[in-house]
Structure 1
């Protein structure tokens, strides 16, 4: 497993955490963040939603940045978290941020996509009451499938949007130069947006002839449609899922 040499593309803070975990396993990695998190200025609408937190039956936090920024708001406006809503996350890593804060958070062990959370018994139970209400804590865009499904079931949903993602600017040929100079044999993306940013950065060099590690079947299918060949579905966006995929994937033979 330690013959893998990976390029990590998450936001810088997450790259650092993953790189440390990989290094502990003897795996070399290089970081080239393709997404940067830009918190949004607080608005009256945001303040109103967080002050109404106790009116929701469930709060769904869709990412680690959403968890961190959302908990900052809870700290600001609630002496202690309200007892009303049940907290859910898309993915274990996000859930642990909520749990470490002291919330009784739940997430699906069956996957990190919207379908897995919709089938979670705890979420179904939380919404099995008259006029259920859900608050999403999220970034701009994304996760419309989850909201659309809940709306179709008669659930009222609101969104507390706390950040936007932007693509850092790199010089042309940065990606290929990094792959060549550091003899990297694997690329790691953890979202569909990250994949699109990778494709844009590669430009005419796409598809790149290295193994691509992705977080879900949805992103794997996106990559296939975009022409990538050697794709590994990690079945999760967190570091444990990546490590498990590395254990079970043969290292490519050097040409």
Structure 2
């Protein structure tokens, strides 16, 4: 495992704890955040969704920023969270934030992604009533497969979009200069959007990036990477530190 030298591309506040966990296991890393989180201003429609939170049998939180910002909104309107609804988190780290607030949260164990949540028997149980409703807390765009699948099951799905992800501004060649200077032999992305930003930042050097192993959180992002020409894609089956470490243990540079 210690042979890995990784480029971390998560938002800045998430790179630091992952880098520390990697360092404990002797893995060198460098950070180049490809996503910055910008909270969205609250609209009347968003306020209405939060005020109607008790109408939903299930609330699905797709990311750590969605959990943090969503709980801030929850605090504004609900002295106590509504009862008789089930909360789900796509990943363990997201669940940790919700549980620290006092919520009981269910998250998939084997596959921390949309498919993992959709396969949970607890989700089916939560939606065993006439005209069930689900609220998905997310950023701007994303997780369309989850909503489409639920709607095919006869579920009404609403989105509460809480933030947008933007690409930080870097000078030309920042990415390739970092790979060379730090002697990196792997790149890690946390979402399809961060992969898209990686490709944009690489520019004309994209053929070089295609030869570097890429670690991704899900098979959906893996398919994007393969289609874009990445020669070696490693799926971590989740974005948690545990999922990343397990993938690094299984695979070698």
Normalising TM by the smaller chain, what interval? over 0.9
| Offset from partner CA, 1:107-150 (integer Å, 9 cap, x none) | 11131232221121000000011110111111110111111111
Does the 8 Å CA contact 2:113/2:237 hold for their aligned counterparts? Answer: no
SS at 1:109 equivalent: coil
Corresponding residue number in structure 2 for 1:206: 206
Gaps of 5+ in 1: none
Q: How many Å separate the matches in 1 of 2:144 and 2:222?
A: 19
Corresponding residue number in structure 1 for 2:63: 63
Corresponding residue number in structure 1 for 2:183: 183
Q: CA deviation at 1:4?
A: 1.4
Corresponding residue number in structure 2 for 1:234: 236
Q: CA deviation at 1:46?
A: 1.5
Q: How many Å separate the matches in 2 of 1:138 and 1:178?
A: 31
Q: How many Å separate the matches in 2 of 1:196 and 1:164?
A: 15
Corresponding residue number in structure 2 for 1:249: 251
| Offset from partner CA, 1:19-73 (integer Å, 9 cap, x none) | 1111121211111000111001112222111111111100011111000000111
Gaps of 5+ in 2: none
* 2:72 is equivalent to residue 72 of structure 1: yes
Q: CA deviation at 1:3?
A: 2.3
Does the 8 Å CA contact 2:67/2:98 hold for their aligned counterparts? Answer: yes
SS at 2:75 equivalent: helix
Q: How many Å separate the matches in 2 of 1:157 and 1:217?
A: 24
Q: How many Å separate the matches in 2 of 1:80 and 1:58?
A: 16
Does the 8 Å CA contact 1:59/1:87 hold for their aligned counterparts? Answer: yes
SS at 1:219 equivalent: helix
Using structure 1 for the length normalisation, give the TM-score. 0.95
Question: Structure 2 residue aligned with 1:217, among 213, 219, 232?
Answer: 219
| Offset from partner CA, 1:168-209 (integer Å, 9 cap, x none) | 111110000000111111100111111111011111111312
SS at 1:172 equivalent: coil
Corresponding residue number in structure 2 for 1:132: 132
Q: CA deviation at 1:86?
A: 0.6
Using structure 2 for the length normalisation, give the TM-score. 0.96
* 2:14 is equivalent to residue 8 of structure 1: no
Does the 8 Å CA contact 1:40/1:163 hold for their aligned counterparts? Answer: yes
Does the 8 Å CA contact 1:53/1:85 hold for their aligned counterparts? Answer: no
